Amino acid sequence: MANRQAPGAGDESALVVIPTYNERDNLEPIVRRLFAALPSAHVLVVDDGSPDGTGEVADGLAAGDERVHVLHRSEKAGLGAAYVAGFEWALARDYGAIIEMDADGSHSPEDLPRLIGMLGPDGTGADVVLGSRYVPGGRTVNWPWYRALLSRGANVYSKLALGVAINDITSGYRVYRREVLETLQLHNVASQGYCFQVDLAWRAVEAGFVVVEVPITFVERELGSSKMDAEVVREALVRVTKWGLRRRGNQAAGVLRSLRR
């Protein structure tokens, strides 16, 4: 199949992957806003067997609009697994830009043309574009203080542990050029939640891809409940610490090898 190399802000080769679990009331409004902002994009809803009927809502949207696709999964298996399934679905088809976006309205679809536009024509722009809360112009709205503190702390810790110059590495609003996901060996990604976002961004940096941050306004959801829990936080802390220690170990080994020469 043809592979479009350089999707633009209005290109039909853009696919927005939206994972859902109990987002019945949020899904249709966010899809409607998305198409108003980017009419030629396609949407893939990855539903993890939502008991509230989100999957049925997604099927109804798909039946009425050929731009909407649905991937049903039998059970809630985590955010990372849902995104990997969505990415693999996209890579089996002709999409040049693959986008992560939440269903709950916290990511404004109106920002999509600006984010996708950072990819640039003919491969001249970024490879990964992060919608960032923590660069000049970025902000959060209606977030409880403890969520804001947790997010800030996770980003500062990840930045220091991994040695990456990314201020919002946990951001779940991002655009990948197709070639990035083809390179990152998605089959061995086991991370979830915050940690999944950190994992893929770090892999992209380590692989030499250009990662840029674009300011966004993150708005706390109005309907439904957050999927963040203590296990997601624990996983991120353990995995990022392990990766950071491995990085330090590799650096030390490199210094020792240079001294022996």
DSSP symbols for 47-86: E---TTSHHHHHHHHHHH-TTEEEEE-SS---HHHHHHHH
250 pLDDT above the threshold of 70 = no
The residues spanned by each domain of the chain are 14-251
Closest CA to 47 of 16, 92, 87, 17: 17
User: What mean pLDDT comes out for the span 34-49?
Assistant: 96
- pLDDT tier at 10, thresholds 50, 70, 90: very low
Given a cut of 50, is residue 95 above it in pLDDT?
yes
Q: Record the pTM.
A: 0.86
Terminal-to-terminal C-alpha distance of the chain = 49
Find all residues with CB under 8 Å of 172, minimum gap 6, and list them.
79, 100, 101, 102, 107, 197
Packing angle of the helix pair 230-260, 193-206 (nearest 10 deg): 20
Beta bridge mates, 177: 97
Architecture of domain 14-251 in CATH? Alpha-Beta Complex (3.90)
pLDDT tens profile 224-246: 555 555 666 677 677 778 767 77
Here the tokens at position 105 are 């309205």
Q: Which stretch, 12-16, 190-194, 251-255, has highest mean pLDDT?
A: 12-16
Under a CB-based contact definition with an 8 Å cutoff, are residues 133 and 107 in contact? Answer: no
- Supply φ then ψ for residue 226, to 5 degrees: -65, 150
> How do residues 178-212 score in pLDDT, each as one tens digit?
999 999 988 888 777 678 899 999 999 999 999 99
Number of neighbours of residue 253 by Cβ within 10 angstroms: 10
